[in-house]
Structure 1
């Protein structure tokens, strides 16, 4: 059963039977401390300091395999697909490209949106697929999508679980500043939320496709 931990900002560590992945490790210059997490694989959505600090991740074995862009990768039984998207709503003219990663681990499908800046096209949705179990979605606005667009993207993908990321939590160098998580909570029509230390997901006990997407809030920890 894979275990997901939130390392802050847009960074997550996913531990599974076949390996451990860290998504979008950040540099301490953003005002948060990532620590020194361990992993066998790192995914990088784009080359900005708040998403691209793979050197901070220590190898579990001999080395860390860095996945850095669109394409298909198979590392130690883990299949990862990178889908080209944009960091803005004008096809990258303002902020360049972004890579969305679909990670197949232990019979589950995880999707990390990185700094997605727009709603997804039909072709991008086809590449992502219709069987996402866990979606990591930015919700704080600024240089990526905010609460309203995040809600739309969630409806496009229709995952079983959503874990929000990339919202205000003490980061210091974002202009405009990121929105607090409460904006997303309000947008999704929730009255309250309780952050958890980790999220453990069982492929044999998933909610039915007909059930409403469940939102999981994670408390950030140091790596």
Structure 2
């Protein structure tokens, strides 16, 4: 599996299950945000972390992706996606969705546009997570303090921080350094992509994989 970060909460996950190769993309953003979403990305699955699809630059993703923006269970090309949303939380008719994604015998949790701590019901769906992708810089997503609390609760083997400050953003977001300060013990590596197999997952300390924008 390879994971790339495009900015904000947009990632690209390339994986293969048997003979079926797939590309999953999350949360494509509008170019008005001051950084541009790549023009050449093609996806098989497009996962949106809010039910309001108008929040995202869906048309920028090439191909004919299967779009997921609602709670429920989905499968395409050997990738299993579960959209999670506590029906008891009142956040208006269109609400954020968090996701549990299983591919290549690894389980990922993706928290894109949620800005609060998940409820107990939502956290029950987040057990045994190998890779946790979550915003850490505030704004429309989790801030560093809440992200740190979640990492402690979920205990993933790898954390990929999203939604933090990078050069050129109009929106004010917290820095990756501020997040690591909240985390305390921060075993941190910078890389242009995360290339990982199940056998290579850390056995003990959680790794913070800080991805450069692709």
Does TM, scored on the shorter chain, surpass 0.5? yes
Q: 1:191 to 1:131 in 2, by over 3 A?
A: closer
How far the C-alpha of 1:191 sits from its partner, in A, is 7.3
The number of residues matched between the two structures is: 206
Q: Give yes or no for contact 2:81–2:101 (8 Å, CA) kept in 1.
A: yes
* Alignment partner, residue 152 of structure 2: 155
Query: Gapped runs of 5+ residues in structure 1?
Result: none
1:33 aligns with 2:31: no
How far the C-alpha of 1:65 sits from its partner, in A, is 0.8
1:55 aligns with 2:55: no
Q: 1:216 to 1:99 in 2, by over 3 A?
A: same
TM-score under structure 1 normalisation?
A: 0.85
1:65 aligns with 2:80: no
* Alignment partner, residue 43 of structure 1: 47
Which runs of 4 or more aligned residues in structure 1 lie more than 6 Å from their structure 2 counterparts after TM superposition? Answer: none
How far the C-alpha of 1:212 sits from its partner, in A, is 2.4
Query: Gapped runs of 5+ residues in structure 2?
Result: none
- Aligned residue runs from structure 1 range 77-96, under 5 A: 77-84=78-85, 91-92=90-91
* Alignment partner, residue 106 of structure 2: 108
Q: 1:191 to 1:125 in 2, by over 3 A?
A: closer
CA distance in 2, matches of 1:143, 1:159: 23
**Corresponding residue SS for 1:13:** strand
Q: Give yes or no for contact 2:45–2:65 (8 Å, CA) kept in 1.
A: yes
Q: 1:123 to 1:219 in 2, by over 3 A?
A: same
Task: Please tell me the root mean square deviation across aligned C-alpha atoms, in Å.
Answer: 2.2
Q: Give yes or no for contact 1:111–1:132 (8 Å, CA) kept in 2.
A: yes
